[in-house]
Chains A and B, each alone.
Chain A
C-alpha cells in the first residue's frame, strides 16, 4: 500500500515559473502560432490532486498572475482558470487521475472550455479574431495542450508528488 503526498513547496515555484514561461520561452515551441497552455496544465494538475476548493484557489491565483502580463481585461483569466480548477477538482474522486488517457481527456476538455469561455466572456470587453479566423487556432491549442499535458503532468508529478509506502 502507498499514500500519495502532495508537496506544495515544490509545486508553487514551478507553477509561478509556468506563467513566466508562458509569456516567453513557450513561444519557441509554437506550431503554426499555437502554443501549449502551461498555466492551464498546472491548474488541472493541482486540482486533480487537491480537489475543487484548492483547485479554484490555484486557478484564481495563477490566473491573476497571467492577467498581470496580459493586455486583456484584468481578472478574466483568474475567473476562467478558477472555474476550470473547481470543475477539474470535482472530478478528482470520480476518475483515475494518473492514467495517461484521463490526463489527455481532462486537458482536452479543460483546454476547450478555457478557449470557449475566454471567447465568450472577453468578447464583451474587447474584440477577438472572428470565429472562422480563430477556429484553427482554438483546436490547435486544445490538441497541443492536451498532448503536452502528458509530459508536463509527468514532470510535475516527479517534483511535487511523493508516494509514501505504508505497512497497512
Chain B
C-alpha cells in the first residue's frame, strides 16, 4: 500500500541512483566545468565576506602573530643571506661534479574563492584555470608549505585537493633522519605519515618534507610538523600525526607551482 502510494517518488529516486552509477564520472566532470562558472562570481563575494568575518574575530591573535612574524622575518633575513652563500657554493660544487641542474620552480598566484560544501571532502576552488596555465596535478602552496594539488582544471577556475583530504597521498621524508613514508589526509586539517619502520627515530616537532617521488611534488617542499607519534598494533609500523605548515582552515592566496624536472 505504502509503496503503491509513493511509487512515483521511488521511481524518480531509483532512476537517479541508476544514472549516478551508470554514467562515467568524466561526463559529470565536464558538465561541472561548464555549469559551475555561473556560481563562481557570487561564491567569490561570499568567500570574501567569510574572510572578512573570520579575520575580524581573530584581530587580537593576528596582532600577536604580526609581532612574531616580524621577529621571524629578522631571523630569516640572516638565514637567507647564509643560504644564498651556500647556494652559490652549491652551484660551484655541482658544476665541478657535472651534476644535472635541479628542478626550476615558477609560481602562478591564485586566490581561493570557495571551499567544498561537504564536511567529508577537503578541497578549495581557485580563480585561475587552464587559460592561466593551471593544469591537473600541479602542486599548490601557501606560506612556504604545500597545501595540495590541482585535481580539476577548468577554463577559468580549478579545484585543489588539500593534503588533509583522505584521497591525498604524498611520499614524504622526515627531514632530520631522511626516513621515507606515505603521508595521507585524515580530515580535520590533519595528515598521517604512515609506514615508517618501527625503529625509526622520530621526535615531536620534526619537519616533514616531500620526497620528490611520484612526479607530482618536487623534492624538499615543506609539508608539516610531527604532532604525535603512535606505533601500530603489533609494532609493524610507526605512524605520526602531522599538522600541515600551511593554514588549511583559512586559505586566501595560494601559489600554483610550475616545475620542470627535466635535466
Using a CB–CB cutoff of 8 Å, the interface residues on chain A facing chain B are 19-28, 30, 32-35, 37, 39, 52-53, 56, 60, 65-79, 82-83, 86, 90, 115, 118-119, 122, 124-130, 133-134, 136-138, 141
Contact = CB atoms under 8 A, between A and B. Distances in A.
A25 B119 contact: no
B83 interface: no
Range of interface residues on B (Cβ < 8 Å): 35 or more
Contact of A72 (B47, B50, B121): B121
Interface in B24-79: 25, 28-29, 31-32, 35-36, 39, 42-43, 46-47, 49-50, 53-54, 57
B3 interface: no
27 contacts: A19-B117, A20-B43, A22-B117, A23-B117, A24-B46, A30-B249, A33-B187, A33-B188, A37-B119, A39-B117, A67-B32, A68-B36, A68-B39, A70-B118, A71-B123, A73-B20, A75-B28, A76-B20, A79-B16, A82-B16, A115-B119, A124-B21, A125-B25, A126-B167, A129-B186, A137-B119, A138-B119
Contacts of A127: 166-167
A160 B21 CA distance: 36
Contacts of B117: 19, 22-23, 39, 66, 69-70, 77
A20 B42 contact: yes
A168 B25 CA distance: 56
B44 to A, nearest CB: 9
A132 to B, nearest CB: 10
Contact of B116 (A53, A65, A70, A119): A70
B20 A79 contact: yes
A74 B25 contact: yes
Contacts of A136: 188
B36 A69 contact: yes
Contacts of B50: 24-28
B118 A72 contact: yes
B169 to A, nearest CB: 9
Chain A's interface: helix, strand, loop or mixed, by majority? helix
A122 B165 CA distance: 14
Contact of B115 (A27, A115, A125, A137): A27
B187 A78 contact: no
Which of B20, B118, B186, B250 is most buried by chain A, counting CB atoms within 10 A of its CB? B118
B115 A23 contact: yes
A83 B6 CA distance: 13
Which 6 pairs show the lowest CB-CB distances between chains A and B? A74-B28, A24-B46, A71-B123, A129-B187, A22-B117, A24-B47
Contacts of A124: 21
Contacts of B249: 27, 30, 33
A115 B23 CA distance: 23
A141 B120 CA distance: 10
A109 to B, nearest CB: 17
B19 A75 contact: yes
A49 to B, nearest CB: 17
Nearest to A79: B16
Given A26-B50, A79-B13, A138-B119, 5 more contacts: A23-B47, A56-B12, A70-B118, A115-B119, A137-B188
